[in-house]
Chains A and B, each alone.
Chain A
């Protein structure tokens, strides 16, 4: 009987070798040096199929309208929306954008993602382009780096508590105080009248974390205090942050029961049904609250925690628009951004999505946007919580506040957070 050509052992050996070869091949991985930021390259015809990559699926219909008007002006262009879920946008979608396969024009989150894209050289430098003049200069700083305007923060939200103006007025608080004690007095008065003073979704990390913006707004020793915490030049065990945590402790009786386990939907429900005076999330809650049946006028208010406040409130400019440096249709991508920067077009987007925009001179017709519009020109600070580039650090610092509301001592909560900060540096 002849021997088989391949024994089982030889086959296994071959499989092992193939695996090893695959492992070696895998070692190729990403490579090369980070490309520098590219300037120019915007000359050329406005034509072709443009890919616009973003994560806001809820804005798709409004973008379809805006795209229709863009194509009407530029008949040689078509625009495709490449929409990813926001979590995917943090990972796989960005890799595709870097490769230039999608996202001739694309968007990025403020913070770590913006920085990563900048270091990978995927933003085209927009400095000196005329469309920048269409924006409120103070509201697009999150899209600048090293003196260059790489992206244009487009959508604008106010990450500070929303108020039920009717309910406050009914209880004699049409004007809200400019002191911490005065604010606690209002909360006390509301509670005495059977109102839940503050609906806070402490069980929802995304929405519950927004309150920290207002709480450190004036307590922080510097505008970039959280960036300094991450860099190690400030600590969350310092007095300014301990003061913030102690103030959270003071707010504890004024949150709804079980605040640290409350989901965002439940907090919104409390607010929308008129049972709570403040909803401690942000202006972006206006649309959902209306859908839940709220009929009262809305306002915004950030607790004033110090005697001489530098700021009145908080804003955030995320959804940063940019042109892909690796795109072969940069002229068309820039034209698309220019279209979005037209106040009339921006108004269509803003009113259709119930979100403010950073474009100057936009006429807001949505009643909530009109009510919040005065905040566009008030003394507001770019939301501190998004200064963190490390999500773990941000979560640890925000969680310190949640723990305090849950009963942990401020010092203990701060130390636990600082330990994580130190480990992540």
Chain B
């Protein structure tokens, strides 16, 4: 073994890159989080935990962004999962036209988020928009109470096709014998879905939920494209809030917000894992 010590040199380039592009920036982010640096001036002050204290106790805008983000997350995760599952169940079988329909539902995924934002700006415009011309009343993005849900609709449209593909892959993993056995035992279509398909889709569902959660936290460019910069408070989520703080010459505070943002993602992911384990009876 000693003769092969040179093998340990091989990870060094990767380790160096990891240190340079992950550890160092992360460490810098943590370090700036306890300063009042504006991102430009040559000097700054250490403020200790001051930024974090302010975020937690005295920042309505951050609290509002967190609330919006959780609402957005719940709407997107539930809506997108149900829609993608429904589409997958309908289109999993190779029937006439199913390939074309799959491609159509998948198509939005390949668009850039800014293009999607511009399309939905047109859809939602209360005077010249598609919904308006179809006779749907409302202010849509201009309605403080529901604006974030309208963005969620756009986000679901954008990514549901991608999740559909994951579910279709999961459906194809289910052995046909299980369905046949259930059928022979007299299970109806709904019972076969409830007791065979759905439990067998647990890994795909966990993947879809996790992926959708991450996407919901990263909806940044779609929101900026729809709402402009900085977005109004009814459309502000954590990622846009951090960006606004950053462009507001408060890099230290933005770094602290990023740390809290990371913790929020960690908590949501942990809760999801717990829920998935409980669901799986572990």
- Of the candidates A94, A98, A113, A262, the one whose C-beta lies within 8 Å of that of B126 is A262
**Minimum distance in angstroms from B114 CB to a CB of chain A:** 13
Q: A90-B249, A91-B246 are in contact. Are A403 and B41 (CB under 8 A)?
A: no
Q: Find out whether the CB atom of A34 lies under 8 angstroms from the CB atom of B142.
A: no
Q: Which of B79-132 contact A (CB under 8 A)?
A: 121, 124-129, 132
Q: Does B23 contact A (CB under 8 A)?
A: yes
Residue of A nearest to B145 (CB): A406
Q: Find out whether the CB atom of B42 lies under 8 angstroms from the CB atom of A399.
A: no
Q: A87-B229, A206-B229, A406-B142 are in contact. Are A19 and B1 (CB under 8 A)?
A: no
Q: A204-B228, A205-B228 are in contact. Are A90 and B247 (CB under 8 A)?
A: yes
Q: Find out whether the CB atom of B126 lies under 8 angstroms from the CB atom of A258.
A: yes
Q: For the complex, what is the distance from the CA of A6 to the CA of B58, rounded to whole Å?
A: 49
Q: Find out whether the CB atom of A420 lies under 8 angstroms from the CB atom of B232.
A: no
User: How many chain A residues touch B (Cβ–Cβ < 8 Å)?
Assistant: 64
> A138 to chain B: which residues have CB within 8 Å?
none
Q: Find out whether the CB atom of B248 lies under 8 angstroms from the CB atom of A392.
A: yes
Q: Find out whether the CB atom of B8 lies under 8 angstroms from the CB atom of A6.
A: yes
- Of the candidates B24, B61, B143, B229, the one whose C-beta lies within 8 Å of that of A261 is B143
**Minimum distance in angstroms from A255 CB to a CB of chain B:** 10
> A203 to chain B: which residues have CB within 8 Å?
141-142, 227-228
Q: Find out whether the CB atom of A11 lies under 8 angstroms from the CB atom of B8.
A: yes
Q: Find out whether the CB atom of A263 lies under 8 angstroms from the CB atom of B40.
A: no
Q: For the complex, what is the distance from the CA of A257 to the CA of B125, rounded to whole Å?
A: 10
Q: A205-B230, A261-B124, A420-B60 are in contact. Are A34 and B41 (CB under 8 A)?
A: yes
> B43 to chain A: which residues have CB within 8 Å?
30-34
Residue of B nearest to A199 (CB): B127
Q: Does A18 contact B (CB under 8 A)?
A: yes
Q: Find out whether the CB atom of B139 lies under 8 angstroms from the CB atom of A116.
A: no
Q: Find out whether the CB atom of A202 lies under 8 angstroms from the CB atom of B247.
A: no
The interface stretch among A20-28, A301-309, A344-352 is A20-28
> A258 to chain B: which residues have CB within 8 Å?
125-127, 132, 138-140, 142
* SS of A interface (majority): helix
Q: For the complex, what is the distance from the CA of A241 to the CA of B30, rounded to whole Å?
A: 40
**Minimum distance in angstroms from B280 CB to a CB of chain A:** 30
Q: Does A334 contact B (CB under 8 A)?
A: no
Q: How many A-B residue pairs have CB under 8 A?
A: 170
Contact with B along A100-118 (1 / 0, CB 8 A): 0000000000001100110
Q: For the complex, what is the distance from the CA of A113 to the CA of B23, rounded to whole Å?
A: 30
Q: Find out whether the CB atom of A32 lies under 8 angstroms from the CB atom of B42.
A: yes
Contact with B along A22-54 (1 / 0, CB 8 A): 110111011111110000000000000000000
Q: Does B59 contact A (CB under 8 A)?
A: yes
Q: Does B15 contact A (CB under 8 A)?
A: yes
Q: Which of B2, B15, B27, B35 has the most CB of A within 10 A?
A: B27
> A215 to chain B: which residues have CB within 8 Å?
none
Q: Find out whether the CB atom of B229 lies under 8 angstroms from the CB atom of A18.
A: no
Q: A18-B19, A94-B40, A119-B41 are in contact. Are A259 and B142 (CB under 8 A)?
A: yes
Residue of B nearest to A98 (CB): B40
Q: Find out whether the CB atom of A406 lies under 8 angstroms from the CB atom of B127.
A: no
Q: Does A340 contact B (CB under 8 A)?
A: no
Q: Find out whether the CB atom of B142 lies under 8 angstroms from the CB atom of A27.
A: no
Q: For the complex, what is the distance from the CA of A349 to the CA of B140, rounded to whole Å?
A: 40
Contact with B along A77-100 (1 / 0, CB 8 A): 000000000010011001100100
Q: Find out whether the CB atom of B31 lies under 8 angstroms from the CB atom of A29.
A: yes
Q: Find out whether the CB atom of A261 lies under 8 angstroms from the CB atom of B141.
A: yes
Q: A23-B27, A205-B231 are in contact. Are A34 and B127 (CB under 8 A)?
A: no
Q: Find out whether the CB atom of A5 lies under 8 angstroms from the CB atom of B231.
A: no
Residue of B nearest to A89 (CB): B247
**Minimum distance in angstroms from A407 CB to a CB of chain B:** 9
Q: Find out whether the CB atom of A15 lies under 8 angstroms from the CB atom of B59.
A: no
Q: For the complex, what is the distance from the CA of A87 to the CA of B32, rounded to whole Å?
A: 21
Q: Does B78 contact A (CB under 8 A)?
A: no
Q: For the complex, what is the distance from the CA of A399 to the CA of B227, rounded to whole Å?
A: 13
- Of the candidates B31, B59, B129, the one whose C-beta lies within 8 Å of that of A26 is B31
Q: A112-B249, A261-B125 are in contact. Are A403 and B144 (CB under 8 A)?
A: yes
**Minimum distance in angstroms from A68 CB to a CB of chain B:** 33
Residues on A close to B: CB < 8 A? Answer: 1-6, 11, 15, 18-19, 22-23, 25-27, 29-35, 87, 90-91, 94-95, 98, 112-113, 116-117, 119-120, 202-206, 256-263, 265-266, 269-270, 390-392, 395-396, 399, 402-403, 406, 408, 419-420, 423
Contacts A/B (CB < 8 Å), 26 sampled: A5-B8, A18-B23, A26-B27, A29-B37, A30-B41, A30-B42, A31-B43, A87-B229, A90-B249, A91-B247, A94-B40, A120-B42, A206-B229, A258-B139, A258-B140, A261-B147, A262-B127, A270-B128, A391-B230, A392-B230, A396-B233, A402-B232, A406-B139, A408-B144, A423-B54, A423-B59
